[in-house]
Amino acid sequence: MSTSVQVSKRLITVSDYHKMGEAGILPEKGIELINGEIIEMSPIGSRHAAMVDKTNNLLTHLLFRKAIVRVQNPIGINHISEPEPDIAILKYQTDFYKNKHPQPEDVLLVIEIADTTTTYDREVKLPLYAEAGIREYWLVNLKKEQIEVHTEPVGNDYQSRKLVNKTGNLILPVTGETISAQELF
């Protein structure tokens, strides 16, 4: 006679995650906390790294002292999620958020760059950002050379989705400035 065993999963809070980091249990890079689980991020290939650097360079130039361009650093979402998006555009703060990670109300735009993680970024990260009320989310699909622009978060989805190919234009939410997607690709 077999008996069934009830298995339960214990989710980690952001507080637990930080304590683990302070204790030296976690590596400094390559992981993020998503929905209470420590997720190992994919290795960053040269194409992905170049796109992050190129996007960072462009946005830092355009947004100097208007907003903060944060690269692969944490943003607070809720008590069980602290993702590290490729790029986050934050409200300008003179202390650069030194006392607390930026919260959803501080985030103007999140950009995830995907070479091999498109499905994960669309099915896991997008709902997380939408539910947090992040106003705009760009998913840069390196294989298709296009950018999905998601706006109008409602629940765990965005009501508006626009595809921009590499010959199209993007509107920077902070300044309303038009930038050519070609500048990124």
Greatest distance between any 2 Cα atoms in the chain: 69
Does the predicted TM-score (pTM) go above 0.95?
no
pLDDT at 8: 76
Residue 56's domain is classified under what CATH number? 3.90.1570.10
- pLDDT higher for 175 or 85? 85
From start to end of 23-168, where are the E strands? 31-34, 37-40, 67-71, 87-91, 107-114, 136-141, 146-154, 157-165
Domain that holds residue 152: 42-183
User: Which H helix or E strand runs over 171?
Assistant: strand 169-171
Number of structural domains in the chain: 1
For residue 25, what are its two tokens? 């249990």
Give yes or no for residue 3 having a pLDDT over 90: no
Structural domain includes residue 10: no
Contact between 181 and 165 (Cβ < 8 Å) = yes
Structural domain includes residue 163: yes
Structural domain includes residue 15: no
pLDDT at 113: 96
Structural domain includes residue 37: no
Euclidean distance between CA atoms 69 and 134, whole angstroms: 15
Give yes or no for residue 174 having a pLDDT over 90: no
Work out the average pLDDT over 147-162. 97
Structural domain includes residue 109: yes
